[in-house]
Amino acid sequence: MLDTDSHQAAGLAAMAAEQAPRIVALASHGDRRSELPLLWQLCAAWTALGYPVVVLDAHVRESEAQPGLQQLLMDSDELSHLGQGPEDWPIVPAALGLTALGTPQASPPPAASAERARQLAELFHDYELILLYAPAHELARSLQGSGLSPLLPVSASDAALLTAYHALKQLLNMGKLRPTIVAVMDDSNLATRVSGHSISRNLQDCARDFLACEVPALTVCPDQAEETQRLALRTLEHALQPPRWAPPPATGRATRAARSL
């Protein structure tokens, strides 16, 4: 299995230089116990595979002291104060910018979503992956009908199961987006995995019985590197490719701003 993953990784890496930045997403619903460990480990896996990734964090509001996506969308020159992220990938505040990006347009939702994806690709053209970490309703509003397949992480708590189902409804009904449910477990022992499978199966059953949709689901333990790498590769294969993309001049401000994080 690991040999197959290695060949798959090599093939994907060879394609990366010829492609526009791709967009992946992690839909949040207040379950930080599952969301943050999965986000960090996925970014680490992509970075290890040679994919420069930028994280747009829609949980952090932009400000004059902490500029981010909102300023980039306005073509602002005041981007020198973007802070240093804690890891090897930049984290860009994006709460206000994503809200602005999702403003309703006259064009049909899929066309509007395609244009938003193209804008993001142009802003962050020196990165091969753009990870949107945003509440499910924001992803549903901003990228409705785009074909994006967000990851929907969920931990073992009862509260997380309820909020994950609410997020699932938003993605499917409002966004016309088909997510992948990811049960995130604290450890890899058998009892924990059985619990994870039960959680993901319950959400799958709810999606099928009440939302009339079949959604994929899997269980991962972020501490298990091989599991995270498989998920990272799978997510790459299902990433959103922005249409009609052309690389802007090499002096683009967004890349400089993001790389300074």
At which residue do the structure tokens 């899929």 appear? 110
Judge whether 92 lies within some domain. Answer: yes
Provide the percentage of residues in the chain whose pLDDT is more than 90.
62
Give the Cα separation of 151 and 35 in Å (integer): 10
Predicted pLDDT at 64: 87
Q: Whole-model pTM?
A: 0.84
Judge whether 98 lies within some domain. Answer: yes
Amino acid making up residue 230: R
Give the Cα separation of 150 and 152 in Å (integer): 6
Judge whether 53 lies within some domain. Answer: yes
Provide the mean pLDDT of the chain.
Answer: 84
- Confidence category of residue 136, pLDDT binned at 50, 70, 90: very high
What are the tens digits of pLDDT across the range 206-237? Answer: 999 999 999 999 999 888 889 999 999 999 99
Domain of residue 99 covers 20-242+252-259
Judge whether 15 lies within some domain. Answer: no
CATH number of the domain within which 171 lies:
3.40.50.300
Amino acid making up residue 31: D
Helix (H, G, I), strand (E, B) or coil at 183: strand
pLDDT at 260 over 70: no
Judge whether 155 lies within some domain. Answer: yes
Once rounded to an integer, what is the mean pLDDT over residues 177-190?
88
Give the Cα separation of 76 and 91 in Å (integer): 18
Judge whether 151 lies within some domain. Answer: yes
What are the tens digits of pLDDT across the range 88-102? Answer: 889 999 999 999 988
Count: domains in the chain: 1
Judge whether 10 lies within some domain. Answer: no
What are the tens digits of pLDDT across the range 80-130? Answer: 444 445 568 899 999 999 999 888 777 888 899 999 999 999 899 889 999
pLDDT at 70 over 80: yes
pLDDT at 147 over 80: yes
Cβ contact 26:131 at 8 Å: yes
- Min mean pLDDT across 139-143, 190-194, 218-222 is at 190-194
Give the Cα separation of 231 and 45 in Å (integer): 9
pLDDT at 15 over 90: no
- Confidence category of residue 257, pLDDT binned at 50, 70, 90: very low
Judge whether 79 lies within some domain. Answer: yes
